[in-house]
Structure formats: C-alpha cells, structure tokens
Amino acid sequence: MRVQQISIFLENKEGRLAKVTDVLGQNGINIRALSIADTTDFGILRLIVNKPQLAYQVLKDQGFTVSTTDVIAVEVSDQPGGLSSILRLLEKVGINIEYLYAFVTQTTTAALIVFRVEQVDEAIELLQANGVRIVPGDKVYQI
C-alpha cells in the first residue's frame, strides 16, 4: 500500500530544479506530484513519479543527493471536513504527520493526499479499519 517518494537535496541556486526536471524528462519519467520544502540556503524537493526506482538511479548518477521514502496516499472526498476527519484519526493514536501535500487528478473527483509519517504500517492499518480509501503505489504511479 506504500508509495515510493523521491527526495532530492537542492541548494538554493539557479537552475538546480530545472536540471532535475531535465534529467527526468530525458529518461522518460513523468512527474505525478511534487512539493518543495525550503529554507534560506537549501530546499528538499519531493516527487511522486511514474518510475520511482529509475528516477532514483538517474538522479544519483547525475550527482544529486537523493533518497527514497515510503509515504501513504489517501483519497479524500471533496467536501468540507474531508481531510479533517482523517487527521483526527491519526492524531487520536498519536501518529505525527511529518509533512503532507495534495494533488488532484483527472481520473477521479477526489483529491489525493500524500502523508509522511514514521509509523507507516500502523497508519495504513488504522486508516483502512476506518474505511479511508488508500491508493497503493502501483495505482498512483499510473494515474
């Protein structure tokens, strides 16, 4: 049920993000979702792509500092309180969300939320038990 996310260390200087997208494009890798967390000096680019293992390898070969992280993607119904109910579930059992980001797709009306938590298996179990729809990696890559 896990989704593989690629994280890349980027110094805050011109052209680094473009270099990443160039490398991915040249290798036929399609970006599904991205988010950037930044500080004054550096940023961390997080990507969901259609071929995570290939993306990891080609970026590494190009000299980027890159890692893979397992995250969870859930479908959230597009209505007030949709996200809130999921966050409450996790909060109740003390699972802390490190970060999250959302993306919308053409194939579904619901929004997809990507979560990063330490206790991945626990969180998946909990969400499933409460009827939250989790989108597995192979589905997310093909969206």
Partner 1 sequence: MSLYWDAYHETMSREQLAEIQLKRLKSLVERVYTYVPFYRQAFQEKGITLGDIRSLSDLKYLPFTTKKDLRDTYPFGLFAVPRSEIVRMHASSGTTGKPIVVGYTKKDLETWSDLVARCITMVGGTKEDVVQNSYGYGLFTGGLGIHYGTERLGATIVPISGGNTARQIMLMQDFGTTILTCTPSYALYLADEIHAAGIDLKNLRLKAGIFGAEPWSNNMRDQLEEKLGIRAHDIYGLSEVLGPGVAIECAYKNGLHICEDHFIPEIIDPVTEEPLPYGERGELVFTTLTKEGFPVIRYRTRDISALYPEKCACGRTHLRMERITGRTDDMLIIRGVNVFPTQIESVLLEFGETEPHYLLVVDRKASMDDLEIHVELSSKMFSDKIAGLEVLERKLRSRILSVLGISAKIKLVEPKSLPRSEGKAKRVIDKREL
96 phi, psi to nearest 5 deg: -90, 135
Nearer to partner 1, 116 or 132 (CB): 116
SS3 annotation, the chain: CCEEEEEEEEECCCCHHHHHHHHHHHCCCCEEEEEEEECCCEEEEEEEECCHHHHHHHHHHCCCCEEEEEEEEEEECCCCCHHHHHHHHHHHCCCCEEEEEEEECCCCCCEEEEEEECCHHHHHHHHHHCCCEECCHHHHHHC
Binding to partner 1 by CB under 8 A, coded x per residue (else -) over 114-133, reads --x-----------------
Binding to partner 1 by CB under 8 A, coded x per residue (else -) over 76-115, reads ----------------------xx----------------
Binding window for partner 1 (CB under 8 A); candidates: 25-33, 63-71, 106-114, 127-135: 63-71
* 61 close to 77: Cβ distance less than 8 angstroms: no
Among 24, 46, 75, 76, binds partner 1 (CB under 8 A): 46
Say whether residue 64 binds partner 1 (CB under 8 A).
Answer: yes
Nearer to partner 1, 16 or 133 (CB): 16
Binding to partner 1, residues 16-35 (CB under 8 A):
16
Interacting residues with partner 1 (CB under 8 A): 5, 7, 9-11, 16, 37-39, 41-42, 44, 46, 60, 63-67, 69, 98-99, 116
